[in-house]
Every structure is written in structure tokens, then in C-alpha cells.
Amino acid sequence: MHIAGKELTLETGRIAKQANGAVFAQYEGSAVIATVCCSEDAVSGLDYVPVTVDYNEKYYAAGKIPGGFIKREGRPKDKEILVSRLIDRPMRPLFEKNFGREIQIVPTTLSTDQVNPPDMLAIIASSAAVHISDIPFNGPIASVRVCQVNGELIVNPTYSDIEKSTLEIVVAGSKDGITMVEGGAKEVSEEVMINALEKAREVIIECCELQEKLRSLVGKEKLPLIESGDTLQNADAIRSVAFAKLREACFKDSKQTRRAAIHQVKSEFKTQYAEQFANETQAKLFDALFEDLQYEILRSSILDHGKRVDGRGLEDIRNIECEIDVLPRTHGSALFTRGETQSLAVATLGTVMDEQVYDDIDGDKREHFILHYNFPPYSVGEVGRLGTGRREIGHGNLARRSLEAMLPGKENFPYTIRLVSEIMESNGSSSMATVCGGTLSLLNAGVPMKKPVAGIAMGLVTDGERYAVLSDILGEEDHLGDMDFKVAGTESGITGFQMDIKIAGLNIEIMRKALEQAKRGRLHILSIMNQTISKPAPDISEFAPKIVTMKIEVDKIGALIGPGGKTIKALCEQHHVTINTENDGAVTIYGKNPKDADEAKLAITGIVSDPEVGRVYNGVVRRVTEYGAFVEILPGKEGLVHISKLSREHVNSVTDVIHENQEIPVKLVEIDKMGRINLSYIDAIDPDGERKHSASGGRPPHGGDRPRGDRPPRRF
């Protein structure tokens, strides 16, 4: 088939023939092989689908050799993990739990033209590989990327289109409807988002039909599911008593109280039916019954009475508290609390050397905004291992995209920005709490954001034609509901977007209502945040590095750098700064404090400035001869102070007045035809008592009166 005028082909039977399913997909110069395998032995009674997706990119796909000492692809990069999540999320709900076998999907990018992104190809190839295999699958699914460029919506854009876009979303779904959306934007309207989803839906249906055509040609017979005839004994008796007790437990006022109350109810039944539940199968069936009862109680309360487990109405937002300056030595910090979800967001300002460097098949690039999201087990009152998993990377990426569009460019704010969100509590959308806390922290650090950004998580409960859209969902509502829908943005439009659907598909009417309701919630949250801080702090932290920028003539770059970098290295050591130069003459100076950075700028100005007749310089005596002294007035530029120019009175010896390494004020008297600089030593104090000022910074030179007679010379 053709997408955006380019041919997409799906092929099987030539590569990886021993896998349960394998599809080689090609779109222009990008190619992906996706394979799926399952284990031989089935396990009954699983309450989850043991599926893993391991997307990987080979450097040879772009004609590259991996950088670093080890010339072999290593652990998955963040980008590979994010693409794995894009494949996993729409496909996982379509596998059968009672298949009971481990499933592994491995899409591998084998070729890329660095024009057409291969990630969408990997999603389609993965679905096709499973669809034609003998693994039961209620697919297929497909995915496309949609961008808005110059007001026009483009399907499957190139990398250059993505860079110019004001909207970039990845949309996945089946023939029945959209099941996943992920992306970012630059304050687009809700209507633009709806139009992009509708455009994606048309192409998704065509891609699904293509996969069905492939299956009709080469599809394998599906493996059987595990047939279980086991039923829970005493189910009616347990249900009749448990329902009322569980309904009371499910509506306690806090997460921990609800958890304890539900656990207490379960414990009573486990004690009462201890002999029955000694059988592992019966115990699992009992747990499944309790899950079903909670599902029924929560959903019926919302649809029939508009009441949620914490007593809120459908659009009510939990109590919000915002604090800034919560940490004494960080560059910016904020504590954002919404109900039982809390993010401690910390902003750190760095230099160009702190930028994140990416080396992958898309081409080398650097990021000056980094966001790290941490979700420790204590945030949900549990014991577990600390570390960064796929969930942390995915949530951090969503928050980063939501904030990135509102950050200043490097030309306006030449700092590298690292934002870390430590989730201290979690009960519903810690990623959106990260967006809110991150905004507060960045503003507190003095980052000139264009506008504050807030985020909200929406939920959905459906029953046939009836449905209810929920604002600011809890963890229970996410787990037992039909949708997890996150929207971030400013008062003017959307900047971040993520949606996962558990039902067959979502119609546009529900999507439009959810977006409108999310906007009202977002504006409410922003109004509360703005009461704490709405504009960037006027100054960055005293503990942040000082960055000074300046522009020099391109032909002066060599003079600044010096032979073998000698001049610039000396400046860095002398002033305790780091200096970075660009080919266009832009110079950035990074100092630990303002004084160091300003003095370094002054020195650079001297280096790139041409000596001017009549100006006064603070020079350093480099050599003393019988006839005078050579004084360095600018780095690499020396002039002669003849002995006759050292004093108004007769001088017997140059060393009677000055000595080597002494700093003295001199005036540039002449530049002769051969380019030689002639200087005159001047008094620090004029005869009329007025202090002279140096041309190299506007400060009065040191020294006081000129040494006379037997008075020893003053050191500078």
C-alpha cells in the first residue's frame, strides 16, 4: 500500500523462518524485521499476559559504527525503550490471558535512510508478525505519526517535517477505533488534536486491512487456549456477603485506609474458608472474584450516582498545594501536592558541557533540556528495588515533551537545564504532577519560560451507550476504568498528550468531551499554581554558574583560541571559567560566580580588540632592557615604553622605576609604519589630582603616585 505517496511493503517467508511469526517491512529506505516467539509450555491461571517487546536499532542500519571503546550495541537506549512501549501498549490488551505462554516480540531496525523514522514501521511489522503467527491475537493494530506543519496535517512525516512541526503525535489503533496516542505540541487547540486523530484513523484502517490480507495468504492456525473448568466453590455465598462489606471498604477517605479496609474484608473470608483456599486454584479464583466486585462497585457508583471512591464528583479536582524554595542549596525547587500524589521537582542549571549527547542511527544530537523522573517504592508505601525502568523513562519523556515547548532557546538562555522529579507519593498521575512541579521549579530557578504548564489525567467509565469522563483520576480509577488520558498544556493550548484505551475503541464524541473537560481542569490547576509563582524569578540562584555571552568578529576567533589553544586555555585557568566558541563568532563564558565570568569577558574583549592610539591600558611588564620595557597591553600584544617615557624626570635605569611582571598604566602613543606599538608610562594620579581610568574595563588603575627619587616602586 501507499502512505503519503510512499510504498509500504510487508513480506514473510524469506527471513527468520523459525520464529512463530516474522515480517520484514520496508518503507522507502527504512526496513525493520519483526519476530514473535512463544514458549512451549503453558501455565494455567495467569492473571496477566507475559509479553515483552524488545525494539532495537543496529548502527549499521545508518552506515555507522557505535561510538566509545566498545564497538557493539549494548543495553537499550532510552529511545529504544520508548519505541518498545509504543508497541507494547496497544498490543498487550489484545492477547489472551488464558494462552498461558511467554511471548517475546523483537522488532529490529536493519536499515534507515535517516529521512523516514523507522519506529512506525516497527509497530506495524510487530502487529503483522503476531497476526500471521500461531499465537492467538485479537488484532491487528497499526500506527502512524501525524504532524502539523504550516497549518497542514501530514501523515508519516520525515525528520525534517517533525523539526518544523507544531504538533507531533503517534496514533495507534485497530479497525474498531483508536487505542493509544502519544505526542507533544506547541499550544495547539483541542480541535486541531481531534482533526489529527481523525486523519490518523483513516490510514490505520488501511494498514490493518493490509495485514489481514497478508494473513489470508500465509497465516498459521492459532494455538489453543487453556480451557479451565474450575469454578470458585461457594461463590454465591461469598458474593452475597462480600459485596456489602466491600462496598463500604471501597469508599474510605484515603488510599491507605481503603487498602487496609479491603484487605481486612479479604482476610475475614480467607479465614472463614481457609480449608477451601488452601487449594491454589481456588485462592486465585477468590482473588479474581474480589477484583470483579471492586470493578462492579466502582463503575456502578460512577455511572449510577456520579460518585467516585473518594467522594468527589466527576469533574472535581483534588486539593492542591504548591511550594517553592523548599531546598536551601539547589538552583530551583518546588513541592507540588495534589491529593495523595506529590512531586518534589528540582531544577539544576549547567553549562554546554552538561548537555545530553545522543549517538544513534537518527544522527548525533545534543539536548540542553533533560528531565529525569524517579518513582521509588516508598511513594506507594511498598518495599522494592530502586532503579530506572521502562515506566520511569516513559513517564519522564511525557513530562519532558509537555514542558519543552515552553522553554527558551539556547540563544536566549544559554544554560543546560536538568529537571528531576522525585515522586514522594503516588495515587494517580505522577507524570502530570511532574509537569506541574517542574513548572514551579523552573520558574523558581529563574528559567524564562514562555508560559506556565500544567497537566491533568482523565479517566473513562463506559457501559454500553452510557459513559462518564472523570477528571484527575485516582490509581483505582485508572486500574478499573476504561481509559488513562493525560493532557498537559498552557492556558492557550496543548503541549503534551498521552492516551491508553482498554476498550475496543474510542469515538470522537467522547474524545471531544474529554478534551474540553481536561481543559477546564488544566486551567483550574494553573490558577492555583499562579498564586505561588507565575513568572520566572528575576535572578538565577547565587549557587548556579554565571553564563556570559558575547559576539566577536569571525576572523578574531583564531586570536582568542591561540596556537594550539594556548590563549583560551590560559584564560580559563586564570579566571577559573570555561569558554566555548562557535563558528559564527558567538562566545559563551561559564564561571562559578559573576566576578570570574565578567573578568574573563573583559580579558576576551582585550584580546579581540585592536590597540587604539590614545587609549590607556593596564599593562604587564614582560621584559626589561637598558633602553626601556616591553609591556603587554592585550594578550599577545606588546609595546615598548622607552626609558625616556618612564618619567618626567631623568631616569638612570629602567629598574629604578619598574620591574618585570609589574602591572602599570600605559598610554598608547603611536603605532608606527611597521606596526610597532610605542607606549608611555603615565601617573596613576594626574598632577591636577584626577584619577585616570583604564581603557580595559573602565576601572581606575592601581598604583597611586609615580615612584620618585629613592621611593621604592609600588607593586600592582
Between 320 and 501, the higher pLDDT residue = 320
Between 176 and 338, the higher pLDDT residue = 338
Q: Is residue 356 part of a domain?
A: yes
Please check whether residues 415 and 561 belong to one and the same domain: no
| pLDDT of res. 713 | 41
pLDDT digits (tens, 9 = 90+) for 513-548: 999 999 999 999 999 999 999 999 999 998 888 888
Give the CATH number for residue 175.
3.30.230.70
Q: Which residues of 154-191 are buried (b: 16+ CB within 10 A; e: fewer)?
A: bbbbbeebeeebbbbbbbbbbbebbbbbbbbbbbbbbe
| pLDDT of res. 522 | 96
Q: Is residue 324 part of a domain?
A: yes
Answer yes or no: are the C-beta atoms of 118 and 32 closer than 8 Å: yes
| pLDDT of res. 683 | 62
% of the chain exceeding 90 in pLDDT: 57
Answer yes or no: are the C-beta atoms of 333 and 344 closer than 8 Å: yes
Please check whether residues 72 and 190 belong to one and the same domain: yes
Give the CATH number for residue 280.
1.10.10
- Give the span between the Cα atoms of 74 and 52, in whole angstroms: 18
Asked if the model's pLDDT at residue 675 lies above 90, the reply is no
Grid coordinates standing for 559?
Answer: 586570536
| pLDDT of res. 70 | 86
- Report phi then psi at 191, rounded to 5: -70, -40
Compute the Cα dihedral for 238, 239, 240, 245 and give only its sign.
positive
Distances (CA, A) of 297 to 240, 388, 669: 13, 35, 93
Helices (H), 454-533: 475-480, 508-532
- Give the span between the Cα atoms of 587 and 603, in whole angstroms: 13
**Average pLDDT in the 548-569 region?**
88
- Give the span between the Cα atoms of 95 and 107, in whole angstroms: 18
Task: Please give the model's pTM, rounded to 2 decimal places.
Answer: 0.83
Please check whether residues 336 and 286 belong to one and the same domain: no
Between 598 and 137, the higher pLDDT residue = 137
Distances (CA, A) of 505 to 25, 169, 177: 26, 18, 4
Answer yes or no: are the C-beta atoms of 196 and 148 closer than 8 Å: yes
Distances (CA, A) of 480 to 275, 289, 309, 391, 517: 30, 14, 12, 19, 20
Please check whether residues 488 and 383 belong to one and the same domain: yes
| pLDDT of res. 687 | 43
% of the chain exceeding 70 in pLDDT: 95
Domain end position, chosen among 247, 281, 305: 305
**Average pLDDT in the 632-656 region?**
85
| pLDDT of res. 17 | 96
| pLDDT of res. 455 | 96
**Average pLDDT in the 655-677 region?**
89
Asked if the model's pLDDT at residue 136 lies above 90, the reply is yes
Residue 446, SS3 per DSSP: coil
Please check whether residues 504 and 650 belong to one and the same domain: no
Give the CATH number for residue 643.
2.40.50.140
Most confident segment among 194-198, 599-603, 605-609: 194-198
Q: Is residue 313 part of a domain?
A: no
Count CB neighbours of 253 within 10 A: 10
Q: Is residue 225 part of a domain?
A: no
pLDDT digits (tens, 9 = 90+) for 342-372: 999 999 999 888 888 888 887 778 899 999 9
Give the CATH number for residue 598.
3.30.1370.10
Domain end position, chosen among 497, 532, 567: 532
Asked if the model's pLDDT at residue 259 lies above 80, the reply is yes
Please check whether residues 259 and 341 belong to one and the same domain: no
List, in sequence order, every residue forming a beta bridge with 232; answer none if it has no partner. none
Residues 6+ apart with CB under 8 A from 588: 351, 352, 414, 547, 548, 549, 579, 580, 581, 582
Grid coordinates standing for 378?
Answer: 516508598
DSSP string of 341-400, one letter each residue: EEEEEEEEEE-GGGSEEE-STT--EEESEEEEEE--GGGGT--------HHHHHHHHHHH
**Average pLDDT in the 636-658 region?**
87
Q: Is residue 279 part of a domain?
A: yes
Please check whether residues 156 and 277 belong to one and the same domain: no
**Average pLDDT in the 2-12 region?**
94
Answer yes or no: are the C-beta atoms of 114 and 362 closer than 8 Å: yes
| pLDDT of res. 427 | 92
**Average pLDDT in the 446-461 region?**
95
Most confident segment among 217-231, 392-406, 598-612, 616-630: 392-406
- Give the span between the Cα atoms of 77 and 508, in whole angstroms: 35
Between 613 and 702, the higher pLDDT residue = 613
**Average pLDDT in the 90-111 region?**
95
CA-angle at 434, arms to 504 and 326, nearest 5°? 160
Structural domain containing residue 42: 2-218
Confidence of residue 688 (pLDDT cuts 50, 70, 90): very low
Please check whether residues 596 and 614 belong to one and the same domain: no
Q: Is residue 224 part of a domain?
A: no
**Average pLDDT in the 418-427 region?**
96
**Average pLDDT in the 432-448 region?**
97
| pLDDT of res. 711 | 41
| pLDDT of res. 479 | 86
- Report phi then psi at 422, rounded to 5: -100, 115
**Percent helix, strand, coil in the chain (nearest 5)?**
35, 30, 40
Distances (CA, A) of 257 to 169, 264, 310, 469: 39, 10, 11, 25
Q: Is residue 223 part of a domain?
A: no
Please check whether residues 350 and 451 belong to one and the same domain: yes
**Average pLDDT in the 229-240 region?**
87
Tally of domains in the chain: 5
Please check whether residues 604 and 629 belong to one and the same domain: no
Asked if the model's pLDDT at residue 693 lies above 50, the reply is no
Domain end position, chosen among 504, 532, 560: 532
pLDDT digits (tens, 9 = 90+) for 177-230: 888 999 999 999 999 999 999 999 999 999 999 999 999 999 999 999 988 778
Asked if the model's pLDDT at residue 695 lies above 80, the reply is no
Pairing of strands 365-367, 483-489: unpaired
Grid coordinates standing for 166?
Answer: 507544531
Residue 429 falls in which region: left (phi positive, over 0), alpha (psi -120 to 50) or beta: left
Most confident segment among 119-123, 426-430, 588-592: 119-123
Between 609 and 697, the higher pLDDT residue = 609
Answer yes or no: are the C-beta atoms of 134 and 20 closer than 8 Å: yes
**Average pLDDT in the 302-331 region?**
94
Confidence of residue 637 (pLDDT cuts 50, 70, 90): confident
Q: Is residue 251 part of a domain?
A: yes
Element (H, E) at 11: strand 6-11
Please check whether residues 203 and 240 belong to one and the same domain: no
Please check whether residues 599 and 621 belong to one and the same domain: no
